[in-house]
Amino acid sequence: MTAQLRSELRKMRSTRTNVGLLLGLVGVILFGVVAGSFGTEAELSLLDDQRELVGNGAFAAAFAALIGVLAMTSESRHGTIRATLVFTPARPLVVFAKVLASALVGIAFGALGAALALGAGVVTIRGHGHDVLLDSGDIGRLLLGTIVMAALWAALGVGVGGVLRNQVLTIVGLFGWVFVIETLLLRHLPDVGRYAPGAAGTAVTGDTVGDSTVDLLAPVTGGVLLAAYALVFVVAGAFVTSRRDIT
């Protein structure tokens, strides 16, 4: 397992893909914080709006999901899966090593995303002449929640990628689900929607979903539920990967 994990971590840093994702994350968070501060100058004095501003760190989870998806599906796309499985025929081991490696990189993205959103948020709030009302509880929840959410989404990305195999299909499916279907669910069937993976993940940071008034799950419940989704998809991905012919 250690050998395969080292191999997967090396794959993570031997292309420019994850550097690109990191730059993308920085850009999205800074844009989110700056955009969130415009037109709401008065409201930035309120605690809820300050929380929402630094909550932009949660974008790290979407990037972590991409890391996981790409770790799995780029091997099918470029054919490297053949050499990988000739060297390590124990296919579940390969999938689990990808889960661990993606989760570790996801944790780094989560920590960086939360710290960046917090730093940029505080500068922005002060720049508008308001006092920062966030306390250590808010900050701890933001940091820890974002890290947990990013790690779990990275694992979920590997699992879904293992089940669907096709890179474009996986990315469109995953993001279509979270940003389109879950949005509709939360709006029209909130009692179902709050149990969906995206909403469960958002609950971990104690955030609300955009401007909706849906009550999300408690952070710990959301985290456990998201972990359960991740586990189901990782096991399914390992199973499907083990069964199929690599042609």
What whole-number distance in Å separates Cα of residue 210 and Cα of residue 123? 22
The two structure tokens encoding residue 157: 């990305």
DSSP 131: -
Check: CB of residue 152 under 8 Å from CB of residue 100: no
Burial of 25 (0-12, 13-18, 19+ CB in 10 A): buried
**For other proteins, the closer CB: 177 or 239:** 239
Shortest distance in whole angstroms from residue 105 CB to other proteins: 15
Q: Which residue in the set 39, 89, 129, 137 belongs to the binding site for other proteins (CB under 8 A)?
A: 89
**For other proteins, the closer CB: 53 or 95:** 95
Positions 157 through 216 that interact with other proteins (CB under 8 A): none
Q: Which residue in the set 90, 123, 189, 228 belongs to the binding site for other proteins (CB under 8 A)?
A: 90
**For other proteins, the closer CB: 2 or 136:** 2
76 binds other proteins per the rule CB under 8 A: no
Cα torsion 83, 101, 99, 185: sign: negative
74 binds other proteins per the rule CB under 8 A: yes
129 binds other proteins per the rule CB under 8 A: no
Shortest distance in whole angstroms from residue 17 CB to other proteins: 7
The two structure tokens encoding residue 150: 């990013």
The two structure tokens encoding residue 122: 């505080």
User: Using CB under 8 A, which of the segments 46-54, 73-81, 105-113, 206-214 binds other proteins?
Assistant: 73-81
What whole-number distance in Å separates Cα of residue 96 and Cα of residue 40? 45
User: Using CB under 8 A, which of the segments 8-16, 145-153, 204-212, 230-238 binds other proteins?
Assistant: 8-16
Half-sphere exposure of 198 (CA within 13 A, CB side): 21
SS3 for 150-184 is HHHHHHHHHHHHHHHCCHHHHHHHHHHHHHHHHHH
1 binds other proteins per the rule CB under 8 A: no
In one-letter notation, the amino acid at residue 64 is A
User: Using CB under 8 A, which of the segments 33-41, 49-57, 86-94, 121-129 binds other proteins?
Assistant: 86-94
**For other proteins, the closer CB: 1 or 172:** 1
85 binds other proteins per the rule CB under 8 A: yes
DSSP 16: S
Shortest distance in whole angstroms from residue 9 CB to other proteins: 9
**For other proteins, the closer CB: 6 or 126:** 6
**For other proteins, the closer CB: 90 or 224:** 90
Contacts of residue 43, Cβ cutoff 8 Å, sequence gap at least 6: 49
Applying CB under 8 A, the residues found at the interface with other proteins are: 3-4, 6-7, 10-11, 14-17, 74, 78-80, 82-90, 243, 245-247
